[in-house]
Structure 1
Amino acid sequence: MPFLHNAAGLPTMKSSPSKPEFQDWLILAEDGRHVVLGRYSNPTDEEISRVTHALAAQGIGGWLAQGCGHYYQKRQQYSLQKICVLTESSIPWEVAEVRFHHLRKEQ
């Protein structure tokens, strides 16, 4: 998956109009909760910073991730790719990812 980098050194997506799947930016917390950022565009540094500070203030680990698939169609496959650690976590990425998929199916 091709990435460019913004001024803060965070990756930005290169658009790929030939792909039928959607690509989203997410911040994934260690308990599986998440927030989708920059729908139809790359998230801003300010958006990422606000969520990062909120996670750190609560002592919750989190990652910047990219989701690929149909987020709002629960029966469709939706995969996550870890981009970087935003706040340190005692929980491994893989556990948070499993929790994410479990929560997504319950909603």
Structure 2
Amino acid sequence: MTTWVDACAADEIDQEDVVRFDHAGRTFAIYRSPEDEYFATDGLCTHEKIHLADGLVMDDTIECPKHNGRFSYKTGEARGAPVCINLRTYPVRVEGDRVMIGVGA
């Protein structure tokens, strides 16, 4: 069963941007695409555990700020060295003006 958690206001995230969200000792990254859709992944790079919310968003890609490894924030797929382990992704829904992420399975 999915547990939905209120992560942030929808307007807190600009298009093609990312924000950090911490919950229950875990860090998540929440993205808003150029098409005005929302996505969520683990918030730390799989290479050296750097916060992805400090990275650069381009199209559907997040680039880690430390070594420039890249991931698809839509699928979690590792797209560029030095990262080789995919990010975990989470379901997202918007309720009113709030972004909710599903953190349980």
TM range (shorter): under 0.3
Q: Select the structure of larger CA radius of gyration.
A: 1
TM-score, length-normalised on structure 2?
Answer: 0.26
**Which one has a larger percent helix, Structure 1 or Structure 2?**
1
